[in-house]
Amino acid sequence: MYIIAGEYDSVSEVDKLRIEANESILMRCGNYIGMVPKSKSSNIYHAVAVHFYPEVLLRIYDDRPPKFLKAHGKAEVGMYKLNSDVLIKKYIDSMLFYFDNPSLVNEEILALKLKEIVLLLYQTKNAPAIQVILSNLFNPASYSFREIVESHYYSNITLEELAQLTNMSLSTFKREFKKIYGAPPASHIRKTKLQKAIDLMGSTDLRATDIAYECGFNNISHFSKTFKQVFGASPTSYKMTHFGKSLG
């Protein structure tokens, strides 16, 4: 996916990357949630996505895909960001031309454009990591329920989205969560976020806004309200009482 204007958050089972204008991301087959945050630089969001399908690649390569698409390497990388790569930008510009002139497009051109983006990705300065993703493109990683949940304790995503990352319905996710952690997901995750907030209060001089962000709260007011509901005091009062320091 290439971002022309605006910003994009790609959330995988265990990771999150923010992509800004003139950046792109390569993602291996798997579960993802896409978010479009409010951008400081643009009021619009414009992106181009290129999807790789195994049956299409086999057809355009006459059932003889290049070696790097067949040689499976160590598959630790699930998605990778490419920062302002001029080769990718030129490719997207050429694709936009065909979007504006669909009468010029035929099957042969589409096959060539797909081969072109594969080769360009392989030749960028981040080729080693990209090669790993390409060679494992259709082999999604397998993550445990705990790995997915605990990777997103401090992510600003909903329970519905977290359930989606585990490939479960919300009701099934809640049952599985309570079976493993002994508490409903909302209360357990809230408790975990607030414990991290207290740890940060005692070990850093971060401002309340920064602590709220680090712990995955929507905003400072949500953080302060939740904190006071649980501990009976505002974050500022709590830090002064327990750590003898003010909270900026």
Answer whether 171's CB lies under 8 Å from 209's CB: no
- Average confidence (pLDDT) over 216-231: 92
Confidence of residue 74 (pLDDT cuts 50, 70, 90): low
Mean predicted lDDT score pLDDT of the chain: 89
Q: Are residues 161 and 110 in the same domain?
A: no
**Scanning the structure block, which residue is given the tokens 């009468």?**
103
Q: Which pLDDT does position 141 carry in this prediction? A: 76
pLDDT of residue 70: 65
Residue-level length of the chain: 248
Query: What's the confidence (pLDDT) of residue 73?
Result: 58
pLDDT of residue 2: 95
Instruction: Using the 3D structure, point to which of 108, 135, 162 is the last residue of a domain.
Output: 135
Task: Note whether residue 63 is domain-resident.
Answer: yes
Domains in the chain, number: 2
pLDDT at 123: 79
CATH number, domain with residue 208: 1.10.10.60
Percent of the chain with pLDDT over 70: 95
Strand order of the β-sheet with 33-35 is 16-20, 7-11, 33-35
pLDDT classification of 75: cutoffs 50, 70, 90: low
Q: What is the pLDDT of residues 99-109, one digit of tens each?
A: 999 999 999 99
Question: What percent of the chain stands above pLDDT 90?
Answer: 60
Q: Reply yes or no on whether the pLDDT at 227 is more than 70.
A: yes
Q: What is the reported pLDDT for 93? A: 95
**Looking at the structure, do residues 116 and 200 belong to the same domain, yes or no?**
no
For residue 176, how far is the Cα from the chain centroid?
A: 23
How would you class 182 by CB atoms within 10 Å of its CB: exposed for 0-12, middle for 13-18, buried for 19 or more? exposed
pLDDT in tens, 40-72: 777 899 999 999 888 888 888 887 777 766 666
Q: What pLDDT, in 10s, does the model give residues 3-18?
A: 999 999 999 999 999 9
Pair 23, 107 in one domain: yes
Cα angle 132-138-141, degrees, rounded to a multiple of 5: 70
Shared domain for 113 and 22, answered yes or no, is: yes
Are 16 and 112 within one domain? Answer: yes
Residue 210: CA atoms inside 13 Å, Cβ hemisphere, count?
8
Helix H or strand E encompassing 212: helix 208-214
Whole-number Cα distances in Å, 36 to 10, 19, 45, 150, 236: 9, 10, 8, 23, 32
The backbone torsions φ and ψ at residue 211, rounded to the nearest 5 degrees and listed phi first, read -65, -45
User: Residue 221: is it exposed, middle or buried by C-beta count within 10 angstroms (0-12/13-18/19+)?
Assistant: exposed
pLDDT of residue 72: 60
Dihedral pair phi/psi, residue 210, rounded to 5°: -70, -40
Give the Cα separation of 33 and 48 in Å (integer).
Answer: 16
248 assigned to some structural domain: no
* Most confidently predicted of 32-41, 78-87, 189-198, 235-244: 189-198
* Domain match, 26 and 116 both: yes
Structural domain boundaries, residue 65? 2-135
Amino acid identity at 115: K
pLDDT value of residue 159? 95
Q: Do residues 23 and 105 share a domain?
A: yes
| Residue 137 banded pLDDT, cuts 50, 70, 90 | confident
140 in a structural domain = no
The per-residue pLDDT for 122 is 80
